């Protein structure tokens, strides 16, 4: 069977159910089906099929997924947060892909990888960096520069390349400007060990310009080759809960997703061998809790019977906290996507014209950076923040603090008076915030309100705020040194006093090569700190809500084999299992988890992948 938006008649029992056909879920399904084509597998995905959908395959459509372009977007869903006092009572809205392929079908396509220390830091020997590198390699065919053949993959289904559009003059300009500030270029910053450098961005785009999502790379070929007759995919359906008998998962309850209007009947499908939950960092803990797997307090309040008391479920939400800033530039019209934002064209029109820019993700630069010892000394850190720096970063030169990345274009509709400008935006994010959030159910039904707090800026030591202030200043200094720089777009920057050296300004040409760093006064720092409270945001890279750990005492939800504690035959395979943050945009981690999970499950099911 291929992809269907109905549960086929008679399909009331399979060997394995996979709840969520996202980035990791598609990998698990495909590899298990390869391991044993006799194994009957059902993938249930709440979003629609993505097969040859031009809004997926053409990379530039990512713009519709991150900006409000006034076009309905059925590919996305949002998890609605609660007001958070530490960020000025703002409510964070956390978006996620809701489509076959999940995040990999909608994301911004930037390819980066974690640091060695990130993976070793999970303290799970079977998930150490040495154990995971083969899986990071397994999913990719890498077309970028590398110092060693063994660091990247050459036979995986996901192509990683520079794409067929670009690069623009921004790459060389940014690399020179960063070098002027002591941040050198590293051709392959994604080798797990390099740090404090900038890199020409590589992308999940094939050399001929097609997005590389996990459904097209893994699932669709197998659904069409006639060799995987027992691989079933049902889209536009939600898994309501996992069903268990005594201490064993035995199936799932599924209903049509009301957003797609396919009826309302709830159906049960039995899983003879295994249920794999792969609904993403926010979807997975909510599904487990609806199934009675979670902290007793949460479940009692929500009116759900406890099947396994696991207080770690939904806790320890972590993300990369981000700031988005825009600058006036002298970039050329064909070097930004701004014509879409200033009303000159639309993505639909570009599709009709088969415009070559559709193959682009606009992100030309990525980086991993950290403050120097002198910069740390000058920050005036609190005693607690200084202890954290000394313990976790000081002597650990492999550990960055932040990423500065770029997008060639503005980040909202462009006002009439700015229509002739071309913009550059930076997305700068903290890689290891200490703040933690949570996500829980408040009732038994899928449509019950959720209790989501991202926790941004709640770390008592103020470490995250101090690093965010450093990051704002650092990214601005790099951009000020670009040849294409023509000033800060003030409404998106902190409202520094007009007399201050830090005030936003416009220029007719580049700043002189010997330009000095901005000198921030105490008052400027206060303005910046308040701006951070009101602007630091989630960054789409959530992890940690069903943490993998050696025991439940330390908040563990799954063991090293991804089995949920206290319930047999119930597994989790997605980013919710990641125990501590990674210095990477997170798709690489999700794909590697999918690959490794498939090997673990195949062994348990006594089939070889």
Ligand X SMILES: Cc1cc2nc3c(=O)[nH]c(=O)nc-3n(C[C@H](O)[C@H](O)[C@H](O)COP(=O)(O)OP(=O)(O)OC[C@H]3O[C@@H](n4cnc5c(N)ncnc54)[C@H](O)[C@@H]3O)c2cc1C
Catalytic residue list: 541
Q: Give min distance, CB of 24 to ligand X, in A.
A: 4
The answer to the question of residue 212 lying near ligand X (CB under 6 A) is no
Which residue stretch of 6-14, 39-47, 377-385, 452-460 sits at the interface with ligand X (rule: CB under 6 A)? 39-47
Contacts of ligand X in 100-129 (CB under 6 A): 102-104, 106-110
Q: Give min distance, CB of 85 to ligand X, in A.
A: 25
The answer to the question of residue 370 lying near ligand X (CB under 6 A) is no
* Residue (of 445, 452, 505, 532) closest to 241 by Cα position: 445
The Cα 219–Cα 229 span in angstroms is 12
- Matching residue, tokens 């926790």: 455
The answer to the question of residue 238 lying near ligand X (CB under 6 A) is yes
What residue is closest to ligand X based on CB? 22
Q: Kindly report whether the peptide bond that precedes residue 167 is cis, defined as omega within 30 degrees of 0.
A: yes
Q: Which residues contact 470 (CB under 8 A, 6 or more apart)?
A: 371, 375, 379, 401
Q: Give min distance, CB of 414 to ligand X, in A.
A: 21
What b/e readout covers 413-446, taking b as 16+ CB neighbours within 10 angstroms? Answer: ebeeebeebbbbbbbbbbbbbbbbbbbbbeebeb
Residue 438 annotated as binding site: no
Q: Give min distance, CB of 503 to ligand X, in A.
A: 32
The Cα 608–Cα 602 span in angstroms is 5
Q: Give me 597's structure tokens.
A: 């999970």
> Please, are residues 609 and 602 in contact by the beta-carbon 8 Å criterion?
yes
Sign of the dihedral through C-alpha 259, 260, 261, 263? negative
The Cα 174–Cα 200 span in angstroms is 9
What b/e readout covers 21-59, taking b as 16+ CB neighbours within 10 angstroms? Answer: bbbbbbbbbbbbbbbbbebbbbbbbbbbbbbebebbbbb
Supply angle C-alpha 297, 581, 202, rounded to 5.
140
Which residue stretch of 67-75, 95-103, 125-133, 453-461 sits at the interface with ligand X (rule: CB under 6 A)? 95-103
Contacts of ligand X in 331-360 (CB under 6 A): none
The answer to the question of residue 243 lying near ligand X (CB under 6 A) is no
Q: Give min distance, CB of 573 to ligand X, in A.
A: 8
Q: Give min distance, CB of 457 to ligand X, in A.
A: 21
Q: Give me 93's structure tokens.
A: 């809205």
The answer to the question of residue 23 lying near ligand X (CB under 6 A) is yes
What's the length of the chain? Answer: 609
- Binding residue for ligand X, selected from 29, 56, 96, 557, defined by CB under 6 A: 96
Q: Give min distance, CB of 512 to ligand X, in A.
A: 35
Q: Give min distance, CB of 25 to ligand X, in A.
A: 6
Nearer to ligand X, 347 or 528 (CB): 347
Nearer to ligand X, 118 or 238 (CB): 238
Which residue stretch of 10-18, 92-100, 423-431, 450-458 sits at the interface with ligand X (rule: CB under 6 A)? 92-100
Which residue stretch of 40-48, 146-154, 347-355, 496-504 sits at the interface with ligand X (rule: CB under 6 A)? 40-48
Contacts of ligand X in 412-451 (CB under 6 A): none
The Cα 345–Cα 358 span in angstroms is 12
Q: Give min distance, CB of 527 to ligand X, in A.
A: 29
Which residue stretch of 272-280, 341-349, 409-417, 420-428 sits at the interface with ligand X (rule: CB under 6 A)? 272-280
Contacts of ligand X in 275-294 (CB under 6 A): 278-281, 283, 287
Q: Give me 481's structure tokens.
A: 């040194």
- Binding residue for ligand X, selected from 17, 41, 46, 411, defined by CB under 6 A: 46
> Please, are residues 39 and 607 in contact by the beta-carbon 8 Å criterion?
yes
Residue 531 annotated as binding site: no
Nearer to ligand X, 104 or 336 (CB): 104
- Binding residue for ligand X, selected from 15, 16, 17, 22, defined by CB under 6 A: 22
Long-range pairs, 147-155, Cβ under 8 A, ≥24: 147/187, 147/188, 147/191, 148/191, 151/188, 151/191, 151/192, 152/188
The Cα 385–Cα 464 span in angstroms is 9
Contacts of ligand X in 50-69 (CB under 6 A): 65-66
- Binding residue for ligand X, selected from 47, 157, 166, 433, defined by CB under 6 A: 47
The Cα 391–Cα 449 span in angstroms is 39
Helical (H) or strand (E) element with 38: none
The answer to the question of residue 98 lying near ligand X (CB under 6 A) is yes
The Cα 255–Cα 240 span in angstroms is 7
Q: Give min distance, CB of 241 to ligand X, in A.
A: 9
Nearer to ligand X, 279 or 537 (CB): 279
Which residue stretch of 18-26, 123-131, 187-195, 521-529 sits at the interface with ligand X (rule: CB under 6 A)? 18-26
The answer to the question of residue 16 lying near ligand X (CB under 6 A) is no
Contacts of ligand X in 580-609 (CB under 6 A): 585-588, 590
The Cα 329–Cα 484 span in angstroms is 5
> Please, are residues 51 and 220 in contact by the beta-carbon 8 Å criterion?
yes
Residue 540 annotated as binding site: yes
Contacts of ligand X in 537-556 (CB under 6 A): 540-541
Pairing state of beta strands 438-441 and 293-294?
A: unpaired
- Binding residue for ligand X, selected from 160, 239, 313, 537, defined by CB under 6 A: 239
Q: Which residues contact 305 (CB under 8 A, 6 or more apart)?
A: 292, 299
> Please, are residues 313 and 295 in contact by the beta-carbon 8 Å criterion?
yes
Binding site for ligand X (CB under 6 A): 19-25, 44-47, 65-66, 95-98, 102-104, 106-110, 238-239, 278-281, 283, 287, 540-541, 574-575, 585-588, 590
Please enumerate, by residue number, every residue annotated as part of a binding site for FAD. Answer: 239, 540-541
């Amino acid at each position: 069977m291929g992809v269907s938006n109905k549960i086929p008649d008679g399909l009331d029992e399979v060997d394995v159910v996979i709840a969520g056909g996202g980035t990791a879920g598609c990998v698990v399904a495909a590899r298990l089906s390869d391991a044993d084509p006799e194994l009957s597998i059902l993938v249930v995905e709440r979003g629609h099929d993505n097969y040859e959908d031009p809004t997926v395959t053409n990379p530039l459509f990512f713009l519709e997924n991150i900006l409000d372009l006034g076009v309905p977007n059925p590919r996305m869903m949002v998890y609605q947060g609660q007001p958070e006092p530490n960020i000025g009572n703002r409510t964070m809205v956390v978006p996620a892909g809701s489509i076959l392929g999940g995040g990999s079908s909608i994301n911004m396509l930037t390819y980066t990888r974690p640091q060695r220390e990130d993976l070793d830091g999970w303290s799970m020997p079977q998930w150490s960096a040495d154990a995971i590198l083969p899986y990071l390699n397994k999913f990719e065919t890498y077309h970028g520069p590398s110092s060693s053949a063994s660091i990247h993959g050459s036979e995986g289904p996901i192509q990683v390349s520079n794409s067929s559009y670009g690069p623009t003059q921004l790459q060389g300009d940014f690399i020179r400007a960063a070098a002027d500030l002591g941040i050198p270029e590293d051709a392959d910053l994604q080798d797990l060990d390099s740090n404090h450098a900038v890199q020409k961005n590589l992308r999940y785009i094939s050399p001929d310009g097609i997005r590389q999502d996990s459904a097209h790379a893994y699932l669709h070929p197998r659904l069409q080759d006639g060799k995987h007759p027992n691989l079933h995919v049902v889209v536009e359906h939600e898994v309501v809960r996992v069903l268990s008998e005594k201490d064993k998962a035995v199936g799932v309850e599924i209903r049509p997703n009301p957003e797609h209007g396919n009826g309302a009947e709830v159906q049960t499908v039995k899983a003879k061998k295994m249920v794999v939950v792969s609904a993403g960092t926010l979807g997975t803990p909510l599904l487990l809790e609806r199934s009675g797997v979670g902290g007793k307090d949460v479940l009692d309040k929500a009116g759900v019977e406890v099947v396994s008391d696991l207080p770690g479920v939904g806790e320890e939400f972590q993300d990369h906290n981000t700031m988005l800033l825009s600058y006036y530039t002298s970039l050329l019209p064909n070097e930004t996507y701004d014509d879409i934002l200033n009303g000159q064209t639309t993505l639909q029109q570009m599709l009709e014209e088969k415009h070559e820019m559709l193959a682009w993700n606009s992100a030309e630069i990525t980086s991993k950076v950290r403050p120097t010892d002198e910069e740390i000394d000058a920050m005036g850190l609190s005693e607690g923040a200084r202890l954290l720096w000394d313990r976790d970063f000081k002597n650990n030169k492999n550990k960055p603090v932040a990423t500065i990345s770029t997008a060639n274009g503005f980040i909202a509709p462009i006002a009439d008076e700015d229509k002739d400008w071309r913009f550059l935006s930076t997305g700068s994010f903290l890689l290891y915030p200490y703040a933690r959030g949570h996500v829980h159910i408040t009732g038994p039904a899928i449509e019950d309100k959720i209790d989501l707090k991202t926790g941004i800026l709640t770390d008592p030591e103020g470490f995250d705020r101090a690093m965010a202030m450093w990051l704002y200043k650092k990214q601005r200094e790099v951009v000020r040194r670009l040849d294409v720089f023509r000033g800060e777009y003030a409404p998106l920057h902190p409202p520094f006093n007009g007399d201050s050296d830090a005030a936003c300004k416009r220029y007719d040409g580049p700043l002189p090569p010997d330009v000095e760093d901005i000198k921030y006064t105490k008052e400027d720092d206060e303005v910046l700190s308040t701006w951070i409270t009101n602007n630091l945001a989630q960054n789409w890279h959530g992890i940690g809500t069903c943490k993998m750990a050696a025991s439940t005492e330390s908040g563990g939800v799954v063991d090293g084999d991804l089995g949920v504690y206290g319930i047999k035959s119930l597994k989790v395979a997605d980013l919710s299992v990641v125990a501590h943050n990674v210095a990477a945009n997170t798709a690489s981690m999700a794909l590697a988890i999918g690959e490794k999970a498939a090997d673990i499950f195949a062994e348990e099911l006594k089939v070889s992948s």
